[in-house]
Amino acid sequence: MDAGSDNKDYDDINITPMVDLYLVLLLIFIIMTTAGVQGMKVELPKSSPRPVLAETKSRAITVNNQGRIFLDTVPVTLDQLQQRLKEHKARHGDFPVVVRGDRATQYQGVMDVLDVVGLVGLNQVGLATQSPK
């Protein structure tokens, strides 16, 4: 017996079990991430053809597709919007607000407007939609 034959060097390492483990982990990761994104199916309500907030004191806030904000038809910044809504609330009390967002606008622009409406303390907020045809 040769003493060198017991201390045989390994020239290659079998990595197949390691690759199998990585593929299984990748598959589990893919399944879990796609399952969490799908959400739940719900029946959304239809909008009515008549305006819900049809009082004369109501104000319309519009966010166009460039992200510009308009109070009725006057362009305003978020700070100006907050100030004008506070002034209108001081004169008329709580009044309805209709937020109109262009379908191509960034969602963050509409959320910024809703944050300002919440800071002013207005409770009657409506989101304008197009009636289904």
Domains of the chain by residue range: 12-38, 59-127
Amino acid present at 60: A
> What's the confidence (pLDDT) of residue 126?
83
Question: Cα 5 to the chain's mean position, in Å?
Answer: 67
> What's the confidence (pLDDT) of residue 83?
93
pLDDT in 10s for each residue of the chain, 133 residues: 555 555 666 667 777 888 888 888 888 877 776 655 444 344 445 655 655 544 447 788 888 888 888 888 888 999 999 999 999 888 888 888 888 888 777 888 888 988 999 898 888 888 877 766 6
DSSP state of 94: S
CATH of domain 59-127: 3.30.420.270
The residues near 49 (Cβ < 8 Å, ≥ 6 apart) are 131
Q: Compute the distance between CA of residue 62 and CA of residue 35 in angstroms, rounded to an integer.
A: 36
